[in-house]
Amino acid sequence: MRELVKKIVLQYINLKPTRISLRLLWDKISSLITIDEKTVEVEEIISFNSFADGVIDAFREVYGELELIPVDLRTDIYRNSKITIELCPTGSLGVFDIYIQYH
């Protein structure tokens, strides 16, 4: 799933998205990946780890190595001189938001 997420994100990365979200649809056994206003449905449940790793992999490929800065148990920040990426999972809601700032 990590590679699939990376592939999806790379399709939109040149648009410089500021928010990428994963929403789990347990009743349909599928996942929605929303990149700003674009939504892609994947007919499988994507784990939060696979989602985060795929997004980070895509941004590393385009923007270079990223430094990990742990904030707390639920939030991590990845950054370099070009971008800052904040990972904000809300597991109980089945939603994982990632916010991107460009420098």
For the chain, the helix, strand and coil percentages under 3-state DSSP, each to the nearest 5 = 30, 40, 25
Q: How far apart are the first and last CA of the chain?
A: 29
Band of pLDDT at residue 94, cut at 50, 70 and 90: confident
Which three-class secondary structure state does DSSP give residue 71? coil
**How much is the pTM?**
0.93
Query: Each residue of 28-76: pLDDT tens digit?
Result: 999 999 999 999 999 999 999 999 999 999 999 999 999 999 888 778 9
Q: Are 24 and 17 in contact (CB under 8 A)?
A: no
CA distance 68 to 100: 14
Q: What percent of the chain has pLDDT over 90?
A: 83
Give the pair of three-digit tokens for residue 95. 């939603």
User: Whole-number mean pLDDT of the chain?
Assistant: 93
Residue 21: per-residue pLDDT: 96
Domain boundaries along the sequence of the chain: 2-102
